[in-house]
Structure formats: C-alpha cells, structure tokens
Amino acid sequence: MQGLQRFQEGELMIVNEAVAIAEEISSNAYKMSSAEWRGRRYDIKTLADLTPDEVVHGPLAQIIRYVGRKAETSLSSSEYDFYKICLQDHTILSTLKKFPELRLLPFTLYIVTHELIHVIRFSKFLQAFDASAREKILEEARVHEKTQAVLRLAQIPDMGAVFDFYRAWQGPLDDLRDMA
C-alpha cells in the first residue's frame, strides 16, 4: 500500500459528502425507514483504513463480506454478515486524471451508490453474495441500471459525464446479458 495515492483532506471531505448523499439516495430508492437503514451492517473505508488484503488494482471499489458475531456469544446463530465497501483511492484518483471531465463528487457518488445497492440487494436476499461468475456479471448490469436510474432522479450536477463514462461498460454487459 506504500506508494499508492490516497485521498487528501479536501478530497476526503468530498468523499464523505458523496457517502452521505449515496446513503440517502439508496435508502429512498429501496423505501427503507431510518431504522431499517441503521440495521444494515456495512462500513465504507478508504485506502488509509484498508488492510493489504482489501486493496485491489483495477476496480474502483470492492465489497468484502465478513462474518460478525457479538463479543459475548460463541453460538453461530448469533452470526451476521458485515459488508465492507473498500474504496480504492489510487484507482479513483488515477481515473479522474485520465478522464478530466469527471469530477470527484459525482464520480464517488456513483461508485458508493452502486456499492450500497449491492449491499442492500445482498442483505435483502435479492442476490446471493457467492453467486456464479455469470450471475455476478448479470448482477453488475442490474446494479448499474438501478444506480443510473436513482441518480438520474437526483439530478446531481456533473453526473452526465459519469453516465457517459459508464456507458462504455454497458455494451459488454448487455452482450453477456443477451447470452443469459
């Protein structure tokens, strides 16, 4: 992790703002009450708080599922899924440099909203976390569609460039979905 570019203080403030907006947009999209939302077991971390095993090269973020258990019990019946959304600062910042039309707030808003939709779908059993490779690709297409739909309704400034960026990924996903 040494040498990988991390978000700076000002960028972290923007990422935090994107997270707050993404949480609100995602909970609204799935019509979840604040109590339901607080019941979701997840966390969002940037590179500074990731272990070496949580750092990847290429993806903008990844979700890792951990099994949690209350400290005072050893019974497996008290286990629960805990999802960690691992933002990959170095990849996000590198992408922003390659595509100057992208802005940090809408880009990270898209990324975080996308990952939160995955978490919601896993926790509501709408999608299995341990799906086949083919099903994971199909799920990616579904989540991109949902992410774009909810963000279009939110009318976030500069989001058009983000939609254009992701349009390049739609073709391969559509081709794979057609094969399903």
Domain edges within the chain: 9-178
3-state secondary structure of 76: helix
On whether the CB atoms of residues 174 and 141 are closer than 8 A, the answer is yes
Distance CA 91, CA 57 (A): 7
Single-letter residue type at 177: R
**Tens-binned pLDDT, residue by residue, of the chain (180 aa):** 568 999 999 999 999 999 999 999 998 888 877 767 666 688 999 999 999 999 999 899 998 988 766 667 666 666 777 889 999 999 999 999 999 999 999 999 999 999 999 898 878 675 656 767 777 777 788 888 999 999 999 889 999 999 999 887 665 555 554 544
pLDDT for 164? 92
